[in-house]
Structure 1
Amino acid sequence: MSPASLRVPSHRRRVLAAAVAVVLSAGALAAVGPVSAASAAQYPSWSDVEQAKASKDAQQAKVTEIQALLQDLTEQASAAQRESEAAGTAYQTAQTNYDAATLEQQTLQQQADEAGRTAKRSEAQAGQLAAQLGRASANDVTTDILTHPSDSGDLLYELGAMSKLTEQADGIYSQASQDRGVAQGLADRAEQAEKALGALADAAQAKMQAAQDAADRAQSAVDAQADNKERLEAQLALLTTNEQDVEAKYNEGVAAEKARQAALAAAAAEAARNAAATSQGGTGGGAPNSSGWVRPAGGYQTSPYGYRVDPYTHYRALHAGVDLAPACYAPIYAAHAGTVTFAANGGGYGNEVVLDNGGGISTAYGHIVDGGILVSVGQHVEAGQQIAKIGSTGWSTGCHLHFETRVNGSAVDPVPFMAARGISV
């Protein structure tokens, strides 16, 4: 994963470096993730570098020091990014396990309910036959034979018929008992599966939080690298060349880059506002309907919710959302107002945003392009607000949005869910 795949856009490298060049003379870099045992690095100031040029030995020592600091910055950022990727994969696995278990539990419950209805029908049929036999019992037939011997042929036939009915009754009672046993067995399995869901839900939530924390640590490492790398390289140039005014030129370049990036950000924000204002509900975004929902992106649905052979892994697995495929870099909109609870690497989901939409409902948006997450954790967004850009990160074979609707943390089919809220996906 490149630094650009983290939450903060890569242009911050130069913007953040401006303050560092002026203020930081011996700042400490907090250790990140798996390198937390390392002592905080002390970075040389420009005056340190200027003084080192007075002595050849001091100059070489300072060159070696700066080269080591640059290497350490790279290693810390890479290690933190690997940790973030691993945490994202663990989250995605836990969420998938929870979604699959929830779907299995719901299927078992539906089967148990149907088996229960079948058992009731069988028991009702057995009860009706028992009542019929009670009204014309074998004892009554025997009495007729003794009191009306002249009609014994007909009565013996009636007795044989009663014997057949009794055999049928035994079969119906046996079937009713079997049906009740099947229903009870399915109900027990559904109950056990439901009990297991709590632990799976907790695991998915914990893994998601761990993935977000790891992504934040990785971003800190990338920020530290961005804050210091260019300044250290400029100081290295001051030590190893005869170029004059390196610090002044460096600071001028930082200021110019900062102004350029600010102008680009303002232009992008204006374009996003214009796009949101002009987009129609049928293509994604736009004004929310009376239920407060919008379509999260344009494009056709390319893969529905349900089990399938995953085109990336080639294994059969639950596809817990629907895929919408507009163009690469197309806008992704918040389907409903909510608060950002996740904005980081989600393993197979790629770069992902999750919104808590209230009432136990959340929505998830996956495969966002590197650098395309436009929101941060804790931020409140409105329905139809652009939150990201379409990409193909994670387990993806082409640009698209993987969109999930979750109830109490578990994915449900977005098609009927959104249709009930007046939105077609």
Structure 2
Amino acid sequence: MVAPSRDAARAASALAAAETGRDRAQAVYDAARLDLAATLADQTAALIRLEQVRALADAAAVQAESSTRALAALVRTIVQKGTGTATLDALLSDEGSADLLSRLGNVDRIADLTGNLSTIRTRVDRDVHRAQALQADLGTAQAATVDFPLAEKQAALAAAEVSLSQATTAFSTASLDAQTALATSAEASAGRANQATSQLAGILGARLSLTGWATPAVGSLTDGFGPRPELPLPGVLPFHSGTDLAAACGSPVYAANAGIVAQTGRLGTYGNWVLIDHGDGVTTGYAHIADGATLVVAGQSVTAGEVIASVGDTGASTGCHLHIEVRVDGTAIDPQPFFADRGINIGIGLVSG
């Protein structure tokens, strides 16, 4: 039979590898999602630009046509008044108004009949040139709306999502295997710390749930909240005000959430104790901390998942474990449902969401 410490070492290695694989898959998925979003944003911007240019081109075409008609009307009036219909027929032949501008040189000889003709010719030239330029821009804008690799980006995201799902499943399996190995190793070593179990506890306990809460310690649940049919040691109260997690001596104790350290020090049967105030009347307490292993002081700010101490067996204790206590407005409540509502399964050491 393989020694428990060797099982824990293997589980720690497998869990670390699974976590690395999951993190890499998450990074690939996030990059693919952002890449697709950027491509969609670029396509949307191109379509908006196309509609803007189309509107400008349509308006410019209408303006150019209007200016050309105004010029034709003015020329007709000038010719009728100044030179007769023969000149008008020469200027406005059956070829239509499309060649009007190319024949305007013939109009120069009657420019002295009105001061408006030169101004209108300049306006027509400007409007026609602008309409032609916007038609060219419209073609460019239309070309810019095609060739977006949406199908390729969507396929990449779908593949990344599958890989992430597989990696997450592998990590969950490795976490469960690691928890089993940790509990077995801690029990077999009678609470003595060893490198494998400490490493495993560190890997399991360093993550936050989506609500921002952390596992206070990684270990097996040995005593729950509520009345005790039998007292484990003389001097302890018949009602257990927290939850006990058996863990290897020296394994890390984590702040369950951000807050201010309210108390540290020795506290009767609790042994070495830390109390953290999280605001809104919620506090969490950590008991039986190893001697000399408290890493925080009263008044200190801590973050969720920060290592605040090491597991020990001080106070009324039968072996290395963490007593985790949750109080709301000063009254102790059952830690298990409290943490479960925040995505933490204490006694398993897993983040559920």
Q: TM-score, normalised by structure 1?
A: 0.37
Mark the structure with the bigger radius of gyration. 2
Structure with the higher fraction of residues in helix conformation: 1
